[in-house]
Structure 1
Amino acid sequence: MTEEDRKQRYIRQRNAGALPWELEDSAPVEPEHPVFSQGIQQDASAAPVNEGARVQPLPDDFQPDPVYIEFLEVHHGIDREFTLAQLVEFKLYWRETGEARKAWQNKFKNHVIYQWKRSQSETGQRANRSTAEKLTDTSWADGIQLDFDDTDDTDD
């Protein structure tokens, strides 16, 4: 059994819920379920195994999937231009770290949402106010008109 096989077996056992002290090194390796195997197809007509499911560093040619761009626009109100403007920073950071991930599209989506909320906070959409300003704020009363005329009280 190669070192890579041992690592894969360890990961499978941990994912199945085994605790580190319960792992058996001498136990026979069970065949992997076809759904979870990488690169094995059941028959020639079967669809290829999803390449995005493997842990890998950020590809050099990474581009956000249009489905994610549309999702961000529809569900978070983030326009396409803002989303695409985040791509360079995202790629620079993750290429430098060299960290491998499974779901780069989802990681990019979360990065864009974080940057969007941060930019909204910085532009004053949700301006930070001091406690004194919050406590003395009377803007809630703007437009309220009270009539203190005592004409309807007739005690004659």
Structure 2
Amino acid sequence: IGGSWQPSQDAVRQLAQLGVTKEFAQQQIPQFVAYWRERNVPRHSWESKYIKEVWRQWQQAESTSHRRSREVSVTGEWQPSQDALDLLIVKGGINPNFVDDAVPEFILYWRDRGDVSSTWNSKFIQHVRRQWQFYTGMMEQDSMPRSMPAQWQPKESVYDVLQMANIDRHFAQQTIPEFVLYWQENGTPQASWSTKFLQYVKRQWARHNQPQSASGTDGKQQGSNSKGRIRDRNIIDALSDRSWAS
């Protein structure tokens, strides 16, 4: 192929009929010529080769453009699709409340990162499945209900799950006194205090990062003593509701 090779008007028209713009077709000429000059391979028809190559490049560009047009950032109102929920709950056997409690932490992490994607549902499915696998492992280790001991501490595996959820370890550790106090006063034995604590931290993390509670309720909670904090209605709700931890 010659260094000054150019496609004919007929080749450009054929590409236009395929939806390829004239500008795009012309942009591919230097690369096409350089590539085949380096290989020094003779061709009977450079035109047909050029048309095929430009058409392939155009399809790739269109596919990339379409994918990017579907990429969005995560908003505070994001929710997993019904298909994603079916995969997790119906086919995966994951507790619906466990899935629901994973949404706020997922939103917070990806919103803070500022990423855009067209596959948020796939990311969420992976996010939940990894945590559920660790969670069920903890449940299998604990089977005998027992009362809350005064010096209770969560298992290290709890922090592993919280790390997967992108929840700060220090935040979790700060909630231990109020958690222990509540269940000592409540007196109800539980088979797995670690999973109960995991549930509690996930819900408190979601509340802690709600924009409307950035000042006020959370600030007051952090500034008061444990017995004062445990009487807060939000804390009581977080400790006593939901059904995936037991």
Query: TM-score normalised to the size of structure 2?
Result: 0.32
More helix by share: 2
